[in-house]
Amino acid sequence: MAALLSLRDLRVAFDGVATLRGLSLDIAPGEALGMVGESGCGKSITWLAALGLLPRKARVEGSARIGGTELIGAPPALLDDIRGGRIGMIFQDPASALNPVLRIGRQLAEALRLHQGLTGEAARAEAKRLLDIVGIPDAARRLNAYPHELSGGQNQRVMIAMALAGNPDLLIADEPTTALDATIQVQILDLLGQLRRERNMALVLISHDLGLVAEHCDRVAVMYAGQIVEEAPSDDLFARPLHPYAEGLLRALPRLTGPRQPLDPIPGTVPDMRALPPGCAFGPRCPRRINACRSTQPRLREAGRGRRVNCLNDTASPAASGTSGRMTGDAA
């Protein structure tokens, strides 16, 4: 299937420090892609860069195309049509992501006017319908509320409703539940999944929580130090991670079954982006480091069906491992 959106060698630098180091990614219509990594790994920057939402001092290179339209360096008017139109975005802290001095209804109506040309009563009716869709009770009255009068979960629902106002083909959810209670988290993620299926809308779920992403996404891209280190269908990644970093992330997850075991953290810390090691950025923390890792930067390479990995060590590919036969058999 043709990709809905393609990122090619996307790079971002702030004051000469590279924060995103050449990211390529395709998103198919209607698919749910998770992006995981520690804070600062570039998962949010990727989308802010693609949508032209980074501050002016950020230098953005590469390509981000949606339906043949190039977004990088596009004129503001074009970007304004895409933003909230073809691509919706919701953010981490819904309480501060909504304007505190404007009523909910007005913030929704603004998006509806921009992308559907609705004004007055028509906009209000549609805003109410959107609030109904995202499960806000008593929607008509809530239109007159200010963000501080709603709970965090309700504000995030308002954010989702606002993102839906333009009927986007792609919704980018940047840590949408990090600021919310656990029970509300589940509700919001279920809502996002349901909306995605109903509207055949692609979803990018950005999170530092691998478990959450694997549960709600078809495919996962694991990021480290401004690059994708592994990309795989969620089930495959969980069954057998190829990149040592992805493996480390999985091992650091607590297990819900079996005896209690101490968590197994990845040794070391995230590298300083101003002083990355000359070879692989993960090298210094890597249990499977080989000599080449010190001097050669790995490149993302194919590693079986729908899988890509960014590692020099061959053991990080199905062909070289013991289970390779089964894996290649599946791929054939």
At its nearest, how many Å lie between another protein and the CB of residue 111?
5
At its nearest, how many Å lie between another protein and the CB of residue 46?
14
From residue 15 to residue 54, the character string flagging contacts with another protein as x (rule: CB under 8 A) and all else as - is ------------------------------------x-x-
Its sign, for the CA torsion 203, 209, 214, 220, is positive
Radius of gyration of the chain (CA): 21
By CB under 8 A, the count of residues binding another protein is 33
Q: Which is nearer to another protein, 162 or 281 (CB)?
A: 162
99 binds another protein (CB under 8 A): yes
Q: Which is nearer to another protein, 101 or 256 (CB)?
A: 101
From residue 126 to residue 165, the character string flagging contacts with another protein as x (rule: CB under 8 A) and all else as - is --------------------x-x----------x--xx-x
Which residues, 6+ apart, have CB-to-CB distance to 23 below 8 Å?
7, 9, 10, 11, 42, 46, 62, 223, 226, 227, 228
Provide the token pair at 248: 């480390």
Q: Which is nearer to another protein, 14 or 146 (CB)?
A: 146
Neighbours of 75 (CB within 10 A): 8
At its nearest, how many Å lie between another protein and the CB of residue 101?
5
**Collapsing DSSP states into helix, strand and coil, what is residue 12?**
strand
Which residues, 6+ apart, have CB-to-CB distance to 257 below 8 Å?
none
Q: How large is the angle between the packed helices 104-116 and 120-133, nearest 10 degrees? A: 110
Which residues, 6+ apart, have CB-to-CB distance to 68 below 8 Å?
none
**Collapsing DSSP states into helix, strand and coil, what is residue 70?**
strand
Residues 69-98 that bind another protein (CB under 8 A): 76-77, 80-85, 88-89, 91-93, 96-98
At its nearest, how many Å lie between another protein and the CB of residue 190?
23
Q: Which is nearer to another protein, 118 or 316 (CB)?
A: 118
Phi, psi values for residue 218, rounded to 5°: -75, -35
Q: Classify each residue of 131-147 as buried b or exposed e, where b means 16 or more C-beta atoms within 10 Å of its C-beta.
A: bebbbbeebeebbebeb
At its nearest, how many Å lie between another protein and the CB of residue 45?
13
Q: Which is nearer to another protein, 16 or 287 (CB)?
A: 16
From residue 283 to residue 322, the character string flagging contacts with another protein as x (rule: CB under 8 A) and all else as - is ----------------------------------------
**Collapsing DSSP states into helix, strand and coil, what is residue 74?**
coil
CA max distance for the chain: 68
At its nearest, how many Å lie between another protein and the CB of residue 59?
16
Span interacting with another protein, options 21-29, 65-73, 107-115, 184-192, rule CB under 8 A: 107-115
Report the interface residues with another protein, using CB under 8 A. Answer: 51, 53, 76-77, 80-85, 88-89, 91-93, 96-102, 110-111, 114-115, 146, 148, 159, 162-163, 165-166
